[in-house]
Structure 1
Amino acid sequence: MLVIVPLLPVPPGGVAAKFGWDVFFSWDSNFYEAIATFGYNYSLPGKQLPSVAFFPLFPLVTRAFMSVGLPFKVAGTLVNNLAFLGALIVLYAWMNERHGKQKARWVTAVLAWCPLSLFGTVIYSEGLYLLFSTATLKAFDKQQYGWTALWGAIATAARPTGIALIPALLLVSLWQRRGVKAYIASLAAGGGLFLWSLYCQITMGDALAFLHAQKAWRPSLGFDWLRWLKMIMQIVVGTTNWKYGYIKDPWHPLLFAIIIGSASLLWYFRNKLDATKVNYGFACLGLFLWLLAGDPLTNVVMIFGGIYLLWRLRRELSLITVVYGFCGIGMLLASGGTISLNRLSYGIVSLAIACGVLLARHPFWGRSVMGFFAILLASFAVRFAQDQWVA
């Protein structure tokens, strides 16, 4: 992003990337800069988007770095990168204790190389949330309830998805009959959310201002089946055909049918073919499907593929990992929109854990997925640096 992207031509609808810290600053970074510099605004009427929708931890920590003389873009980049590095270290330590070194390496590799890990390096809050949510889950899994309360309170001040930690901790405490300390720690983990709500009440007269502000992006709560149908149809028939309501571009549905048909035949004759050829065949078909469908496919796979993995590995993973994963995905599905769902689901560390544990069993698919991740991550980095939409 610093060296290569500024040398590339300007894409349609993008901007020319310049050498320097600007390549890490785009989209939501503008909100974080305004909050860290001037404070919050809450103005739903009109065109101004309310910054109160963004939780306070990242702007606060960035402001602390700015107090020693660092510009916002430098401070924000350092905060997110250092926090993301910390999240990788905490995750590896937890997985190494629970699953052993091999699975710990794969889990950490998934979190680090997933294309959405871009948001652990640019001026966003993903790094901080991943660090403290992972630390919360690790402490709870080891029945360290003081640390659970502390890390949980910090995590719930980082991102809205931190709210999913509270019911997850309570449900596991109830299911495993952990006792009063676990219940107290579970409730105390919502301390960051409580303080943020109190701040909103005092300064804006609305304790749920951060929730009401989401209307600027998501008009209503609930499962938005129309947008999900749109994404699925974009995968099957293509964006152009969905837009016009008839088959204007016959190549997309034809190519989709060929890919699905080839995959079905490959699966049917898998026992009669060499295992290596079958693996490479499915890998190539998966790549072709992504080239055809693009971002709608990644959105659907991140959410529904994550649900499948959590259910399939439910007996191998810790209960808190599985329950938090389902609570987090359930919260996203009920949020009333599909904007940035792949990025938001990446922040649910349970999905990276499930994917890494599965890939540890299948080295071929692990290497294939890592290679695909690397290609997509480079693509996302270029797009973000040129101010194009990523997630």
Structure 2
Amino acid sequence: MAQSKFLHNDLIFPTTMWFFSRLIIVVAMFLIAPLIPIPENAQPPAFGWDVFYAWDSIWYHRIVVVGYEFINDGKQYSVAFFPLLPLLTKAIMYFGLPFKVAAVLLNNFAFLGALIVLYSWVKECYGVSAARWSTVVLGWCPYSLYGSVIYTEGLFLLFSTAALRAFDKKQHISAAIWGILSTATRITGVMLIPAFLFVAWKQHRGVKAYLASFAVGSSTLLYSLYCLIKFNDPLAFVHVQKGWRDSTGFAAQGWWNMLMQIFSSPLLLGLIVLSGFLLWRFRQQLINIKLRGVFYFLWLLLWLGIGEPLWSAAGNPFDKIPLVKIAIVFGGLGLLWYSRAKIPLVTVVYAFFSYALILNTGLTASVERYAYGIVSLSFALGLLLKDYRAWGFAIAGFFAVLLASLAVLFAQNQWVA
């Protein structure tokens, strides 16, 4: 009896997934990365806490050390990064921890919290099996790397998931609080506002639901007020985006170029078409465990062959063959449409609003990472894999390989998303 209660504890499974997925990252960064040949554009892997510190991490560090900076001259400034991660990190630093240690611990434990909240929510709605698969997807997706390095993924997933869960359960005060924390973490949190308003209207909710929806934007308004006082520009965090992009809107040319990378290789295109046909043609035979195992193994070998694996020292394979990016972004959209009547309405609406924002930034860079930050995708895929467990195990294994690969690339200071 005691063992049964232990296994069904809502903390055990998500904590286990968090621990082992984070262990893969640590092993890849500290043990595998030093053994991998380093491309010309990479740096030797760092050791200690420095291994978690690169790219956006530097901006958050600068905010903590010198505060926000901005001049409207088209260059990059720290005002583009929202304040909650630096504020919480600085609070932890008062206990004597250096920035890198404090920020890494904060993001990792926030990511653990996100897994626990998601597990609890999905379990309440669809049972233990769906909850476990949703947690596996969120915890093992290769871009969960950003739930361990010094980025905002852990915090944002925790706050946005908690906000969506609270609103779905009509806990409007809690939804407002968690939503405020989401919008204080990153700009994409503002998509909670139209999502909440739409659901409040669609489900004929009362005044509290509308007040909670508008309250979510209060942290963004406060940040805007801060920018007005400090820089005389209430939209400094918007205007600074010119330092990262020349235009806004859907980056049609960038996505077209990615498709051309795939279609320009007759071998790659032929393998994709052939594997898709064989998968459909022999779908009934794949019930056989041995045959399915062979198919999974060949699938993995195919990826390692066409993806120019990182140990070939040829550079970042995710830039050369953008299959993962396209699959996550546009495959995620298809999954949402397929699942629109199965998962809670607020998750569906929030996801489509979030996609509208991230696909109209004028860039293709980092879009897959932002898509990963839409918890609705993990919710929907987990619900799907509940009925296709064999595919779930294969996808989880494939995710583990990609997660280790991204961890090595990040340790070499290569851009991965």
| Cα distance in 2 between the residues matched to 1:87 and 1:265 | 38
SS at match of 2:181: helix
Amino acid of the residue matched to residue 171 of structure 1?
F
Which of 42, 49, 58 does residue 70 from structure 2 map onto? 42
Q: Secondary structure at the match of 1:361?
A: coil
Matched residue type, 2:273:
I
Alignment of 1:321 onto 2:347:
yes
What's the counterpart of residue 116 of structure 2?
89
> In structure 2, how many angstroms separate the alpha carbons of the residues matched to 1:226 and 1:176?
39
Task: Provide closer, same or farther for how the CA distance between residues 105 and 278 of structure 1 changes in structure 2, counting only shifts above 3 A.
Answer: closer
User: Aligned partner of 2:355: which letter?
Assistant: I
Hey, what does 1:373 align to over in structure 2? 399
Q: Aligned equivalents of 1:67 and 1:25: distance in 2? A: 20
Separation in 2 of the partners of 1:343 and 1:74?
A: 23
Distance 1:330 1:290 in 2: 33
Of all paired residues, the percent bearing the same amino acid is: 50
Q: Which ranges of structure 1 fall in alignment gaps of 5 or more residues?
A: 238-251
State whether structure 2 residue 276 is matched by structure 1 residue 263: yes
359, 369, 379: which one aligns with 1:333:
359
Conserved 8 A contact 1:359-1:366: yes
Is the 1:133–1:155 Cα contact (8 Å) retained in structure 2? yes
2:95 maps to which of 68, 85, 99: 68
Contact 1:140/1:148 (<8 A) preserved: yes
Aligned match of 1:125: 152
| 1:237-276 superposed matches below 5 A | 237=264, 252-268=265-281, 270=283, 273=285, 275-276=287-288
**Change beyond 3 A, Cα 1:320–1:79:** same
Q: Which TM-score applies when normalising by structure 2?
A: 0.85
Asked if the contact 2:190–2:216 (Cα under 8 Å) also holds between the matched residues in 1, the reply is no
User: Paired residue for 2:260, among 206, 214, 233?
Assistant: 233
Partner of 2:46: 18
CA distance in 1 between partners of 2:142 and 2:120 (Å): 23
After the TM superposition, list the runs of 4 or more consecutive aligned residues in structure 1 that deviate by more than 6 angstroms: none
2:343 aligns to what SS in structure 1? coil
Equivalent position SS for 1:3? helix
TM-score, L = length of structure 1: 0.91
Once the two structures are TM-superposed, the CA of residue 236 in structure 1 deviates from its matched residue by: 2.0
Per the alignment, residue 324 of structure 2 pairs with 298
Q: 2:193 aligns with which of 158, 166, 187?
A: 166
- State the Cα RMSD in Å: 1.9
Structure 2, unaligned runs of 5 or more:
1-25, 308-316
Task: Report the counterpart of residue 218 of structure 1 in structure 2.
Answer: 245
What is the alpha-carbon distance in structure 2 between the residues aligned to residue 110 and residue 262 of structure 1? 23
CA contact (8 A) 2:263 2:269 kept: yes
Are the equivalent residues in 2 in contact too, given 1:153–1:191 (CA < 8 A)?
yes
Post-superposition CA distance 1:283-332 (Å, at most 9, x none): 74476257525531111111111111111111110000111111111111
Deviation at 1:94, TM superposition (A): 1.0
Q: Distance in 1 between matches of 2:366 and 2:287?
A: 37
Cα distance in 2 for partners of 1:312, 1:348 equals: 16
Higher relative contact order structure (alpha carbons within 8 Å, sequence separation ≥ 6): 2
Alpha-carbon distance, 1:334 to partner: 1.4
> What CA distance in whole angstroms lies between the structure 1 residues aligned with 2:350 and 2:371?
12
Determine the C-alpha separation between the residues in 1 that align with 2:268 and 2:211: 55
Decide whether aligned partners of structure 1 residues 315 and 27 sit closer, same or farther in structure 2, where only a CA change above 3 A counts. same
Q: Give me the whole-angstrom Cα distance separating, in 2, the residues matched to 1:353 and 1:266.
A: 25
Three-state SS of the structure 2 residue aligned to 1:184 is helix
Give 1:168's aligned amino acid: A
Relative distance call for 1:313 and 1:24 in structure 2 (3 A) is same
* C-alpha displacement of 1:383: 0.8
- For residue 249 of structure 1, what is the aligned residue in structure 2? none
After TM superposition, the structure 1 = structure 2 runs for residues 144-159 of structure 1, keeping only pairs within 5 Å, are 144-159=171-186
Q: Which amino acid aligns with 2:408?
A: V
Contact 1:200 1:208 in 2 (8 A): yes
Compared CA separation, residues 44 and 384, structure 1 to 2 (3 A) = farther
SS at 2:58 equivalent: helix
Report the CA distance shift for 1:61/1:315 in structure 2 as closer, same or farther (over 3 A). same
Q: Which moved more, 1:31-40 or 1:2-11?
A: 2-11
Match of 1:288 among 285, 296, 302: 302
Asked if residue 390 in structure 1 is aligned to residue 416 in structure 2, the reply is yes
Distance 1:291 1:177, change over 3 A: farther
Is 206-215 or 180-189 further displaced after alignment?
206-215
CA distance in 2: counterparts of 1:69 and 1:45, whole angstroms: 37
